[in-house]
Amino acid sequence: MIERLLDLGQDINRPDSDGRCAIDYAASGGRKAAVKLLLERGADPRGGRPGAVRCALASGSPNILYHLLRAGASRTLDGHEEMKIAAETGHEALVGLLCDGGIRQDVKLNEGDEPALIIAARRGHDKVAKLLLKTIHSRDKFGRQAIHWAADYGNQRILKLLIDRTSINEKCGFGETPLIRAVKGRYPHAAQLLINHGADPSLPDIRGSTPLWWASVRGDGTMVALLLKATKAVNIQSSENSPAWWARRNGHVRIAEILEAHASKNQAPVVPKILQKPPVRPRQYARVTAVVSAQINGVTISPMIGTGANGTLMSESFSRACGIFDLIDRRFEGVARGVSTGKIIGRVHAASIELGGHDFFTSYTIIERMGCHVILGLDFLRRNRCSIDFHRNQLILPFEKTVVPIFDVSDPSCRVASLESIGNTIFA
């Protein structure tokens, strides 16, 4: 019918009232033969409004797109839509035409941030993937490369194409290697291909699960047998969270028995850590208490640095000794639990403490009984932006660059013998 109308002298490029030409309607309907005939008879490949290429994109026909572009039609502004359809449908000629036309191959073409190579690998179009190898290291939004998708679908042709051109143990955003993807997809031939080319079967994913663990959990006996040939017999016995333990838990008893037999045959006896002789370092088990030298109301004291205490604490006996007992606000009575546990008598809202020759004001929570007389808590340390340098044994306060030595009462060389001696000195 189209040929007869053209033979009768119809204008092939005449638009209708909507501005559309015959080639636009043919492209919209996906009619490849009609488009080819119109182009052969001299139709303008650009079409009318909105354009033959746009109509072909709407119909999703890569063949029509190829013929239109080859005939001289203008592609869309960046050509990304044409590349997306070409990669998804595996149209090798159209991909080649677009690449020759300068279309960028690394552009993300869909919501998954996938470039053309990943789309082609996911769809299994190995010939198209071969034309797009310039972007072999591109990733989608989950950090997966083309080799992960090829393994995910067990496509050996694409794997062979990619294996020698990228890292075979590359991990995606979930920490999964291509081998893990092949194991989870139950593709033993793809897994064997990866192992033969150097894939490491001991590499875990982000959860710590190895390829053998995934095969055991899913009861994939073929994959377990394949992986056991390449996996060291480490942590595959029936200890909790091992592949054998999970296989038995999921009802795959035969696989659990195979794993346990393999482990007992190949694994050297393990000496429990509790039976191993530790190095003799008696001081590493000693209790460490860090104190500094200070004065409160002229009374010398060695307060303990208490990074586990929210507030600065003082014993009732020392509050009497340094003359601030009468300043206690008893509305703050209660019970203290934490570094020191005991009855809270109240709070002194502001009293000075001299450190390194400088006065600092802080509040004190007064405890009825304490193991030491004063604890400098986090409130004091944070307010004064203190730094604790255990390398040099110093408490550093930025104010006036104050540096106060830190002593360890458990150290025999310490000038402060014990907290009891501190107390005796105070009340002497």
> Does the pLDDT value for residue 425 go beyond 50?
no
CATH of 155-266, one of 3.40.50.2020, 1.25.40.20, 1.10.10.10, 2.160.10.10: 1.25.40.20
**Tens digits of residue pLDDT in 214-263:** 999 999 999 999 998 887 655 555 566 788 888 888 899 999 888 888 87
Output the 3-class SS for 201-223.
CCCCCCCCCCHHHHHHHCCCHHH
**385 vs 286, residue with greater confidence:** 385
- What's the pLDDT at 110? 82
- Angle, helices 62-70 vs 32-40, to 10°: value is 10
All CATH 2.40.70.10 domain ranges of the chain, comma separated, are 289-427
Question: In this model, does residue 283 exceed pLDDT 70?
Answer: no
First to last CA, the chain: 121
pTM above the 0.95 mark?
Answer: no
The sign of the CA dihedral 342, 345, 347, 352 is: negative
User: Could you read off the pLDDT of 129-182 as tens digits, one per residue?
Assistant: 999 988 888 999 899 999 999 999 999 999 999 998 999 999 999 999 999 999
What is the rounded CA–CA span in Å between residue 181 and residue 170? Answer: 11
CA-CA distances (angstroms) from residue 423 to 284, 299, 373, 374, 416? Answer: 27, 11, 8, 11, 11
Short-list 93, 91, 145, 92, CA closest to 115: 145
pLDDT of residue 349: 92
Average pLDDT of the segment spanning 299-309: 88
Please give the mean pLDDT across all residues of the chain: 82
Q: Which residue has the higher pLDDT, 272 or 196?
A: 196
pLDDT at 416 over 50: no
- pLDDT above 90: percentage of residues in the chain: 34
Read off the tokens for 321: 């000794």
Neighbour count for residue 18 (Cβ, 10 Å): 9
Confidence of residue 295 (pLDDT cuts 50, 70, 90): very high
Q: CA 360 to CA 379: how far, in whole Å?
A: 12
The CATH T-level fold of domain 289-427 is Cathepsin D, subunit A; domain 1 (2.40.70)
Which pLDDT band holds residue 366 (cuts at 50, 70, 90)?
Answer: very high
Distances (CA, A) of 363 to 145, 279, 342, 347, 354: 59, 45, 18, 7, 14
The answer to whether 214 touches 202, Cβ cutoff 8 Å, is no
Q: Are 115 and 86 in contact (CB under 8 A)?
A: no
Give every CB contact of residue 9 below 8 A, 6+ residues apart in sequence: none
Q: How many Å apart are CA 222 and CA 413, to the nearest integer?
A: 66
Residues forming CATH 1.25.40.20 domain(s) in the chain: 155-266
pLDDT single digits (tens) 2-59: 666 665 667 777 788 888 888 888 888 888 888 888 888 778 877 777 788 888 888 8
Look up residue 279 and give its DSSP letter: P
203 neighbors 229 (Cβ within 8 angstroms)? no
Render pLDDT for 73-94 as a digit per residue (tens, 0 to 9): 776 767 788 888 888 888 888 8
Contact 250, 217 (CB under 8 A): yes
Mean pLDDT of 183-206: 93
The pLDDT score that the predictor gives to residue 103 is 80
What's the confidence (pLDDT) of residue 417? 34
108 or 314: which leads in pLDDT: 314
Give the per-residue pLDDT at 287.
63
Looking at residue 376, what is its pLDDT? 92
Residue 380, phi-psi category: left (phi > 0), alpha (psi -120 to 50), beta (remainder): alpha
Please tell me whether the peptide bond between 50 and the residue prior to it is cis, using omega within 30 degrees of 0.
Answer: yes
> Does 355 score more than 70 pLDDT?
yes
